[in-house]
Structure 1
Amino acid sequence: MKKALIVWGGWDGHQPQQVATIFAEILKEHQFQVEVSNTLDAFADGASLKQLDLIVPVWTMGEIPQEYVQNVSEAVQNGTGLAGCHGGMCDSFRNNVDWQFMTGGQWVAHPGNDGVKYSVEIKQSSSPLIQGIENFTVESEQYYLHVDPAVEVLATTRFPVADGPHRFNKAVDMPVVWTKRWGHGRVYYNSLGHQANIVELPDVKELMTRGLLWAAEGKAIAETD
Structure 2
Amino acid sequence: MTDSAATRSALVVRGGWEGHAPVEATNLFIPFLEQQRFTVRIENSPAVYADAETMAGIDLIVQCNTMNTIEKEEFEGLRAAIEAGTGMAGWHGGIADSYRNNSDYLHLIGGQFATHPGKHPDERCGGPEDNYLPHTVELTDLGRDHEIMAGIDDFELTTEQYWVLHDDLIDVLATTTHPTQPYHPWHRPVTSPAVWTRLWGKGRIFVATPGHSVDVLQDRNVATIIERGMLWASR
TM over 0.5: yes
Deviations 1:9-33 (Å, cap 9, x if unpaired)? Answer: 0000010111111121221121111
1:181-214 Cα deviation digits (max 9, x unpaired)? 1111000000010011111110000000010000
Please say if 1:120 is aligned against 2:137.
yes
Aligned residue pairs: how many? 216
User: In 1, distance between residues paired with 2:79 and 2:207?
Assistant: 16
Residue 32 to residue 118, structure 1, CA distance change in 2 (3 Å): same
Q: Which consecutive residues of structure 1, in runs of 5 or more, have no partner in the other structure?
A: 220-225
Match of 1:47 in 2: 53
Query: Does residue 163 of structure 2 align to residue 157 of structure 1?
Result: no
Counterpart of 2:191 in structure 1 is 173
SS at match of 1:52: coil
- Within 5 Å, which residues of 2 pair with 1:66-85? 66-85=72-91
| Conserved 8 A contact 1:43-1:72 | yes
Say yes or no: does 1:8 pair with 2:14: yes
Paired with 1:121 and 1:161, the residues of 2 have a C-alpha distance of 18
Counterparts of 1:87-106 in structure 2, within 5 Å, are 87-106=93-112
- Please tell me the root mean square deviation across aligned C-alpha atoms, in Å: 1.3
Q: Which one-letter code corresponds to 2:154 in the other structure?
A: N
Per the normalisation by structure 2, the TM-score is: 0.88
**Structure-1 separation of matches of 2:50 and 2:67:** 19
Which residue identity does 2:141 align to in structure 1? Answer: Q
Counterpart contact for 2:85–2:202, Cα < 8 Å: yes
Select 1:182's aligned residue among 200, 210, 219: 200
3-state secondary structure, aligned to 1:165: coil
1:26 to 29, 32, 45: 32
Q: Which amino acid aligns with 2:155?
A: F
Tell me what 1:206 maps to: 224
Deviation of residue 164 (structure 1)? 4.3
How far apart are the structure 1 equivalents of 2:191 and 2:9? 35
Distance 2:104 2:81 in 1: 14
Alignment partners' CA distance in 2, 1:48 and 1:3? 10
Counterpart-to-counterpart distance in 1, 2:183 and 2:56: 44
CA distance in 1, matches of 2:182, 2:65: 29
Note closer, same or farther for the CA distance 1:31–1:104 as it changes in structure 2 (3 Å cut): same
Structure 2 Cα separation of the partners of residues 84 and 143 of structure 1: 14
Contact 1:153–1:175, Cα closer than 8 Å, also in 2: yes
**Equivalent-residue separation in structure 1 for 2:167 and 2:27 (angstroms):** 29
Q: TM-score, normalised by structure 1?
A: 0.92
List runs of 5+ in structure 2 lacking aligned partners: 1-6, 119-129
Alpha-carbon distance change, 7 to 63 in structure 1, aligned in 2, over 3 angstroms: same
Give CA-to-partner distance per residue, 1:19-62, whole Å, 9 cap, x none: 11112122112111111111222223022112111011110012
Note if 1:60 corresponds to 2:78. Answer: no
CA contact (8 A) 1:116 1:162 kept: no
In 1, Cα distance between equivalents of 2:189 and 2:179: 6
Q: Is the 8 A contact 1:122 1:155 kept in 2?
A: yes
